[in-house]
Structure 1
Amino acid sequence: MLTVLGLIGLAVAVVFTVRSVREQGWGDIDPAGLAGATVGAVLGGVSLYAGRRLTTADELADSLATRVRQEAERAYAHMFSGDLNALIDLSYTARLVGRVHADRSEGRLSGITAFYRALDPARLVITGAPAATRGTGSDDAGTGKSVALARLVTELAQTRERERGGRVPMLLSASSWPGGTIVGWLESQLAGRWKMSRSEIRKIMDAQLLLPVIDGLDEMDRSSTPAAETRAAALLGQLDIWNEGTRPAPFVVTCRYSSYKRLERAGAAVRSAAVLRLDRVTPGQARHFLADRVAHHPAALAAWRPVLDALDPDANRAGSRTRALREALDTPWRLMLAAIAYAPHTEQDPVDLLTRAGDGTLQRHLLRRFIPSALARPTLAHRRLGRLDPDLTHRQLHVLAAYLQDNTAGRTVLGRVLSSTDIELHELWPMLGQQRIWRTERWIMTGPAASVAISWFLLVGPSNLVLGYCLGSFVGVAVYFLPRSAWPEPRFFQMPLTDSGSFSTFFRRPPTVLSPRSAIRWDLLTVLLMSLTVGLSAGATYVFKVTTNSGDPSLVTVLVLTQIFAAHGLLLSLIIPARIMGGRAALRYLAFRLVAGSAGIPISFRLGRFLHLCQERGILRTAGASWQFRHGEIQRYLAAHPNP
């Protein structure tokens, strides 16, 4: 495609130059024609160079592995609020189902990557262990499945970077599975999330260099749905029949213990896989974690001493409160909640943990204290974060959490299954209804075009140029209203002039890993760059004509022409359905914000900044170009409690 564009650009440059020379001679070449020829020649040469670049599948995989590793490392650090000095090396046991071979059946979290690489076939299901006491908190929520997955993805990506020949782990959210084959899902992720071209996707898929790592199988359906009829069962069915050549294709999946047992009893589980079960946190591990995390200086140690003594495995304590505390703090997630809620800066008495564990209110109390404690956490001096009000933050996050929970049953809008975990700015519009959003988009498109046409008509007066602009604006807006993609994706103006692979490197080097907030920014930057390019290209001829016919143009003329052709460029950039164009996702997000504001929905107008601050405070985490709540328990708690 780029080669074709390059040939067209060079042909245009030659035609401009030859025509100018033949009609006017070498001494009277039209400046506009010369400018057009120069631009065409430059862009043509660049496109030819880009089109002839040979990128192998291994080179693509190496670049993708670096981006995946950086994202996984960032997510892993966020799970521990940036403090990696108090990690818990959980133990695990593995159950081999079907024709699977492994070199051992037990080990530690620090060796999970070596265990996985020795599997044959490399099919792994990660679950947690249920609590010994049935009842509240008996499920394996927060037992470290996501931590194990993040560590596995990070180390596998590092292995791919060091040893060419390994696979690139692709972290996927199970609730975002659109249906269909695993290959189709991977291809859509490479195109939408990682912005790969069709030829690049074909190369990397043909070379079989991807490893799907699927998180949250248990979050795909409501618990009341029969196991055999769930979307989780359908996804496992696709994984079960997915082969590469003559061998079963590898994958990694996380699922709650109880959910996977239901699928196994219904005959919907994978026939051959290693089912790894993470053990609960021992009292000794919990004690070391809290001592390293919050009780590492004398004042804090004195406050936490009763709790640490209760968790001491060598102490002979059989009290009911001690047993309740050990059971309540037997997962990494609840330990992290306790460390955040009773951190020294909160001035809360840790002894309260013993009391609330004894009366059974500890888990709810920790969830209620999570947001106020996270927002009160001090930050480093060089990272000045904006202030957030705890009560207002709770109410705003409740709106998003309730929307995600409503999608748990597999709600479908315009052919797409809505995610129950991912927050993407330009994909929140189903919350407010399709017609309201599209009607607002029409007003956004029509308003600027009409205002520019009217202002130019009043300043310049009636002329063919004015009528042409009005007609062009009308046609452009009409074309925009034609059937189009209901789910626009952020675009990036990709022209591989440099190693970063982006034309916008001339203005700012794009980050290797795009954050959810920057996706909309780059989409907006793309359309602005395109509008500037198209507007200047179209307006150069008219500017030269005006200067030739009327001498020195007035300031009003220059401003009016600049305004007109910039608007033309903006309209063309939004209308032309090309891969390098952008702006549709940003337009969809703007329409969503305007409708939400007019409807009185308690969501910050600067939603991207608000979610970014929540991420920096550890309330949210990132997963590619999406935000997610740090843990499913936080999302479910906020969805059920509109007020603090």
Structure 2
Amino acid sequence: MNLAGKTRYALGVLGLVLSIGSFAWVIRALAQGGLDAGGQAGVLSFGAGVLGLVFGAPALHMSSQALRLQRDDPTAITRRLATSVRVAERANRQRLVGSSASMIDVNFRLVPEVSQAVFTPTATGPATAATGHLFAIVEYYLPWRPNRLLITGSSGAGKTIAAGDLVLRLLAARAESDPVPVRLTLTGWPEDRDFEGWLVRRLTEVYELPVRDALALVDARLVLPVLDGLDEMDPAASTARPRAIAALGHLNRYIDEHADSGGRPGALILTCRTDAYTDLAARDHRLATAARIVLDDVLVVQGVDYLQRRGVDATRWAPVTATLAAAPGGTLARALSTPWRLNLAVTVYEEHTLAPDGRKIFAREPADLLHLASPGAVRDHLLGLMIPAAVAVRPDHNGRPQYRSGQVHAWLRTLALYLDDNRATGRSVAGRPLPGTDLILHELWPLAGDRRVRAIHALGTCVVGMAMIVGLWIPGTGSTIAGRIIATVVLALIGALGTIHAWFKVWPIPAWFDLEGLRTVERRRRAALGLVVALVLALVVGLELGFLFGLAIGLAVALLGWLRAAVSGSSDDAARFAHPRDLPRANLAVTLALGIGGGVCLGLVGTLVSGLGFGLTVACGYALMVGIAGSRNVVFAAWVHLGTHQLPWRLGRFLNWATEAELLRVAGTAYQFRHRELQEWLTRTPPV
């Protein structure tokens, strides 16, 4: 919106505010029994407000229409989406590669497939499709018709890094009419949901596109899906891989549905571990009409080049580079043959402190790697140093470590064992499969036992309700017997409903305040109903107890109704939040707001009827019961910290720290271990 449009919009809003304020002033003047000089001024201000409304409302409408037209422009939509994706992928690459932006230019080769895309060489692209390298992957990808690429490789080969780098390079080379590459993880895709519907939902959740804009982009093929982790969709114990098979079926139908789209029918990029895809292909489940490449191991010359670009001391690393060059197929070369392992080695062996004169004092020497007997021993050695290195380089503001290495190891191992058990057994709670890779903060409570947590949750709600009821009958609350009986019945009913909800609602639906949602017809009706109820209560109480009492009750109920109308909640829409810790915070804010708001309403009624002490008791009872009934995460955190000491009290803060320490990574609304190798090592290695 230009400056003139913003000015008209601001004037329109100002006119509405003046009108509402002037109207409230007139009502107040009339309620006082007449129009004195101040009342006459209020009437005049009301007229001025009406004039502001008359002139401001059309301007507000026109500017909002202009803004809507601007938002509907496909070029503007794709430009905004491309900017958001670029910012997200740069941050993600920084987390994956580490504290340095250096990357390894890994080679790859084409794997012939039964159903393969057609390579059409261009003047600027490679002459042959047989081989390529990561830094020229865009030039390799674009000549394929259709633009469908399958990236495979071993664990740690750099598939996710390659996919993210391809996204950034495609964005850098993108013209206005080209689709926007968007990388999404497949682990949360329900196999019974069609691909395009899931893609639209993820665009609205992750990048906050309006549903209408996301639908338009997907229908116009202006989104290039980059899908990561086909091999991680099923539990480790599941050799049948039903979810991966279902996903391939949807992706193959996606190309059939878009066969008439010229050069981009069903264009997409997919990553999968080589062994997992080989198993799927052996049962005739493949990505149709796609080019499949496999990432090669890191060559010695590439590893040495990587070390030089990371700026390490060549003298310290000379024994390692000499061994790699002398024995390209030896123990050390095989152990450091993936970008993940090579980057891990640099991370743990570059840990240092500074001497008073500025010299680096390193914690360990790379030559230690030469004394390990097998690639597995090198792997475990590096993983064992990863947590101490992460703790050492991230002290608090006082220069002390925020956590001890043993604590971090134990807490991460608890989470890894939980995920490993889920993957090994494929267990579910109330029909929902528990994740094997994703740590979703508001859904971690089954870690402490699904029945145990629900029982403690229900018991806590019941105990608080009973305590508040007992408090009503303490002498000195200032209420009549009839008033106490009525309040007892109300609180008992609320407590019973909260207890039932805590036990039988196995997966509480997260909620948050969504002010944009008030634009929908359903939310407006809900808000209007709340205002009507507030008006009726205000009139009834005002006639009986006076204008001020009626006004207080009316405002409190109106505010509570507006808050309730602004609440949105859906397990499907939870991924709209940019960071995993945001949704639990938003849900806690809703719980507190509704609990305190409802408590204020009931407390006002109790105060007006039976005095302040009685009103406070009712208000506190309602707020506490609603707060506990809607806070299963708090119950879970208290149990695992105070009862079992398995996890820290502020779990979200710890997971965020672990992400910054590059032990975890963020994928949508979930935390994941930085690499599968770290997760597996933690499950088999208790802290010392």
Q: TM-score, normalised by structure 2?
A: 0.69
> Is residue 604 of structure 1 aligned with residue 648 of structure 2?
yes
Aligned-residue offset at 1:193: 5.4
In the alignment, residue 437 of structure 2 is paired with which amino acid? Answer: T
CA distance 1:16–1:323, change in 2 (3 Å): same
Q: Is the 8 A contact 2:410 2:646 kept in 1?
A: yes
Q: Is the 8 A contact 1:178 1:185 kept in 2?
A: no
Q: Is the 8 A contact 1:142 1:331 kept in 2?
A: yes
Per chain length, whose mean CA-contact separation is higher, i.e. which structure has more relative contact order (CA < 8 Å, sep 6+)? 1
| Alignment match of 2:176 (pick from 155, 163, 180) | 163
CA distance 1:286–1:355, change in 2 (3 Å): same
In the alignment, residue 440 of structure 2 is paired with which amino acid? Answer: E
> Is residue 423 of structure 1 aligned with residue 436 of structure 2?
no
- Following the alignment from structure 1 to structure 2, what is the Cα–Cα distance between the partners of residues 455 and 200? 54
SS at match of 1:233: helix
Q: Is the 8 A contact 2:335 2:375 kept in 1?
A: no
CA distance 1:359–1:121, change in 2 (3 Å): closer
Aligned-residue offset at 1:445: 3.8
State the identity %: 29
- Following the alignment from structure 2 to structure 1, what is the Cα–Cα distance between the partners of residues 303 and 616? 66
Q: Is the 8 A contact 2:648 2:654 kept in 1?
A: yes
- Following the alignment from structure 1 to structure 2, what is the Cα–Cα distance between the partners of residues 157 and 454? 65
CA distance 1:262–1:293, change in 2 (3 Å): same
Aligned-residue offset at 1:441: 2.8
In the alignment, residue 196 of structure 2 is paired with which amino acid? Answer: V
| Alignment match of 1:516 (pick from 580, 583, 600) | 580
Q: Which residue of 2 aligns with 1:135?
A: none
In the alignment, residue 352 of structure 1 is paired with which amino acid? Answer: D
- Following the alignment from structure 1 to structure 2, what is the Cα–Cα distance between the partners of residues 383 and 122? 53
> Is residue 218 of structure 1 aligned with residue 237 of structure 2?
no
SS at match of 1:125: strand
Q: Which residue of 1 aligns with 2:88?
A: 71
Q: Which residue of 2 aligns with 1:241?
A: 253
| Alignment match of 1:93 (pick from 105, 109, 132) | 109
| Alignment match of 2:415 (pick from 369, 376, 400) | 400
Task: Determine which structure has more spread, i.e. the larger CA radius of gyration.
Answer: 2
- Following the alignment from structure 1 to structure 2, what is the Cα–Cα distance between the partners of residues 13 and 446? 45
Aligned-residue offset at 1:240: 1.6
Q: Which residue of 1 aligns with 2:356?
A: none
- Following the alignment from structure 1 to structure 2, what is the Cα–Cα distance between the partners of residues 368 and 69? 34
Q: Is the 8 A contact 1:291 1:308 kept in 2?
A: no
> Is residue 280 of structure 1 aligned with residue 301 of structure 2?
no
Q: Is the 8 A contact 1:57 1:207 kept in 2?
A: no
- Following the alignment from structure 1 to structure 2, what is the Cα–Cα distance between the partners of residues 531 and 203? 40
> Is residue 323 of structure 1 aligned with residue 330 of structure 2?
yes
Aligned-residue offset at 1:73: 2.0
Aligned-residue offset at 1:126: 0.8
Aligned-residue offset at 1:485: 6.9
| Alignment match of 2:677 (pick from 630, 633, 638) | 633
Q: Is the 8 A contact 1:175 1:217 kept in 2?
A: no
- Following the alignment from structure 2 to structure 1, what is the Cα–Cα distance between the partners of residues 430 and 34? 59
621-630 or 350-359, larger mean C-alpha shift: 350-359
Q: Which residue of 2 aligns with 1:145?
A: 159
Q: Which residue of 2 aligns with 1:121?
A: 146
> Is residue 80 of structure 1 aligned with residue 97 of structure 2?
yes
Aligned-residue offset at 1:25: 6.3
Q: Is the 8 A contact 1:92 1:107 kept in 2?
A: yes
Q: Is the 8 A contact 1:101 1:120 kept in 2?
A: yes
In the alignment, residue 404 of structure 1 is paired with which amino acid? Answer: L
Aligned-residue offset at 1:181: 2.5
Offset from partner CA, 1:126-161 (integer Å, 9 cap, x none): 112xxxxxxxxxxx211111111222344456677x
1:151-190 paired onto structure 2 within 5 Å = 151-156=165-170, 163=176, 166-167=179-180, 169-174=182-187, 177-187=190-200, 189=202
1:37-52 paired onto structure 2 within 5 Å = none
Q: Which residue of 2 aligns with 1:507?
A: none
In the alignment, residue 448 of structure 2 is paired with which amino acid? Answer: L
Q: Is the 8 A contact 2:206 2:578 kept in 1?
A: no
> Is residue 432 of structure 1 aligned with residue 448 of structure 2?
yes
CA distance 1:388–1:264, change in 2 (3 Å): same
| Alignment match of 1:259 (pick from 263, 276, 284) | 276
Q: Which residue of 1 aligns with 2:345?
A: 338
SS at match of 1:361: helix
205-214 or 146-155, larger mean C-alpha shift: 205-214
Offset from partner CA, 1:462-493 (integer Å, 9 cap, x none): 25766555444444444443565725235243
In the alignment, residue 123 of structure 1 is paired with which amino acid? Answer: R
Offset from partner CA, 1:260-280 (integer Å, 9 cap, x none): 122112211122111122222
In the alignment, residue 309 of structure 1 is paired with which amino acid? Answer: A
SS at match of 2:150: strand
In the alignment, residue 580 of structure 2 is paired with which amino acid? Answer: P
Q: Is the 8 A contact 1:175 1:216 kept in 2?
A: no
> Is residue 308 of structure 1 aligned with residue 329 of structure 2?
no
> Is residue 614 of structure 1 aligned with residue 653 of structure 2?
no
Q: Is the 8 A contact 1:614 1:620 kept in 2?
A: yes
Aligned-residue offset at 1:173: 3.6
CA distance 1:523–1:205, change in 2 (3 Å): farther
CA distance 1:14–1:417, change in 2 (3 Å): farther
> Is residue 461 of structure 1 aligned with residue 478 of structure 2?
yes
- Following the alignment from structure 2 to structure 1, what is the Cα–Cα distance between the partners of residues 625 and 258? 48
Aligned-residue offset at 1:386: 4.9
SS at match of 1:255: strand
68-77 or 622-631, larger mean C-alpha shift: 68-77
CA distance 1:432–1:388, change in 2 (3 Å): same
Offset from partner CA, 1:361-392 (integer Å, 9 cap, x none): 2122112222122222367x989785221122
Offset from partner CA, 1:522-556 (integer Å, 9 cap, x none): 322344345556666x479759x95xx99xxxxx9
Aligned-residue offset at 1:169: 1.0
Which ranges of structure 2 fall in alignment gaps of 5 or more residues? 1-19, 37-48, 353-361, 520-561, 564-575
In the alignment, residue 270 of structure 2 is paired with which amino acid? Answer: V
Aligned-residue offset at 1:574: 9.4
Aligned-residue offset at 1:619: 0.9
CA distance 1:111–1:523, change in 2 (3 Å): farther
- Following the alignment from structure 2 to structure 1, what is the Cα–Cα distance between the partners of residues 301 and 169? 27
CA distance 1:382–1:152, change in 2 (3 Å): farther
CA distance 1:27–1:533, change in 2 (3 Å): farther
- Following the alignment from structure 1 to structure 2, what is the Cα–Cα distance between the partners of residues 477 and 373? 49
Q: Which residue of 2 aligns with 1:8?
A: none
Aligned-residue offset at 1:202: 5.2
Aligned-residue offset at 1:57: 7.7
Aligned-residue offset at 1:348: 1.4
In the alignment, residue 231 of structure 1 is paired with which amino acid? Answer: R
CA distance 1:112–1:399, change in 2 (3 Å): same
Offset from partner CA, 1:240-285 (integer Å, 9 cap, x none): 2224444552332211112212211221112211112222211111
SS at match of 1:408: helix
| Alignment match of 1:388 (pick from 369, 394, 403) | 403
Offset from partner CA, 1:181-228 (integer Å, 9 cap, x none): 32343355456656677666655655555444332222334666545x
Aligned-residue offset at 1:168: 5.0
- Following the alignment from structure 1 to structure 2, what is the Cα–Cα distance between the partners of residues 341 and 386? 17
SS at match of 1:124: strand
In the alignment, residue 378 of structure 2 is paired with which amino acid? Answer: L
Query: How large is the Cα RMSD of the aligned pairs?
Result: 4.6
| Alignment match of 2:589 (pick from 495, 515, 525) | 525
Aligned-residue offset at 1:631: 0.5
